[in-house]
């Protein structure tokens, strides 16, 4: 069930997109807590809170939709890539990552969300879907711009930022 053809499906995508974004940010925050990287942990927590807010907004929209939402399995969502587009990429993380990297990761995620809604707005023949997709795309665009400004406050870290001064230790 395509999000560009069915409003219920579109709304389900919108809710899950934010839900998974929040989940991923929390995972990343936990990982940073484990690695004693509190600055980035705090940043990811903040991103998770933003996603929670957007999730709540998406749910409000969804609840106004009389037709109900389809019960899609995780793999039945039509995402452009391997997972929902606003989920921070696992492979972009590193235990020594700086706020600069974390914001880059978030920027990539928000750009993904913008592209997702923008694509639907362009492609859909369904006016209510287009209206919402345009609205959501605009919001994501704002997030992108905000993140860009935010990133500008952080200097790009030196090239050797990921030097392992304390090499890995044996655990088990």
Partner 1 sequence: MNSAVEKQIRILGHKDFKSDYKPVWCAGCGDFGVLNALTKAMAALELEPENVAMIAGIGCSSRIPAYTTVYGFHGVHGRALPLAAGLAVSRPELTVIATGGDGDGFSIGGNHFLHACRRNVNMTYLVMDNSVYGMTKGQASPTTECDWTGSKLSPQGTHQPPLQPLELALAARAPFIARAFSNSPNELARIMTEAIEFEGFAFVQILSPCITFRPEQLGWKKRVHEGFEPTDDRAAAFAALSDDDGFTTGILYRAPRPAFRPDQRDRVDIETIEKHFEVRS
Residues that bind partner 1 (CB under 8 A): 12, 15-16, 19, 23-24, 27-28, 30-35, 56, 59, 62-63, 68-75, 77, 79, 82-83, 90-95, 97, 168-172
Nearer to partner 1, 129 or 144 (CB): 129
Please give the angle made by the CA atoms of 67, 76 and 11, to the nearest 5 degrees. Answer: 35
The residue among 27 and 139 lying less far from partner 1, judged by its C-beta, is 27
Shortest separation between residue 92's beta carbon and partner 1, angstroms: 8
- Residue 146 Cβ vs partner 1, minimum distance, rounded to whole Å: 24
Nearer to partner 1, 155 or 167 (CB): 167
**Alpha-carbon distances of 69 from 2, 58, 118, 126, rounded to whole Å:** 12, 12, 21, 17
Instruction: Find out whether 86 and 110 touch, Cβ atoms under 8 Å.
Output: yes
Nearest approach, Cβ of 50 to partner 1 (angstroms)? 16
Is residue 6 within 8 A of residue 70, CB to CB? The reply is yes
| Token code pair at residue 48 | 């998770």
Nearer to partner 1, 127 or 172 (CB): 172
114: burial class by Cβ within 10 Å (0-12, 13-18, 19+)? buried
């Amino acid at each position: 069930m395509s999000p560009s053809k069915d409003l219920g499906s579109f709304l389900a995508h919108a809710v899950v997109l934010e839900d998974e974004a929040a989940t991923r940010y929390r995972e990343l925050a936990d990982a940073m807590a484990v690695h004693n990287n509190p600055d980035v942990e705090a940043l990811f927590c903040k991103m998770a809170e933003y996603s929670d807010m957007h999730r709540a907004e998406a749910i409000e929209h969804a609840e106004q939709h009389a037709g109900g939402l389809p019960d899609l399995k995780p793999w039945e969502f039509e995402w452009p890539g391997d997972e929902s587009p606003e989920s921070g990429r696992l492979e972009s993380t590193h235990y020594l990552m700086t706020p600069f990297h974390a914001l880059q990761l978030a920027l990539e995620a928000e750009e993904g969300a913008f592209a997702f809604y923008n694509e639907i707005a362009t492609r859909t023949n369904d006016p209510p879907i287009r209206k919402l997709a345009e609205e959501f795309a605009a919001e994501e665009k704002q997030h992108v711009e905000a993140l860009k400004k935010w990133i500008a406050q952080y200097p790009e870290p030196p090239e050797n930022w990921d030097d392992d001064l304390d090499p890995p230790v044996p655990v088990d």
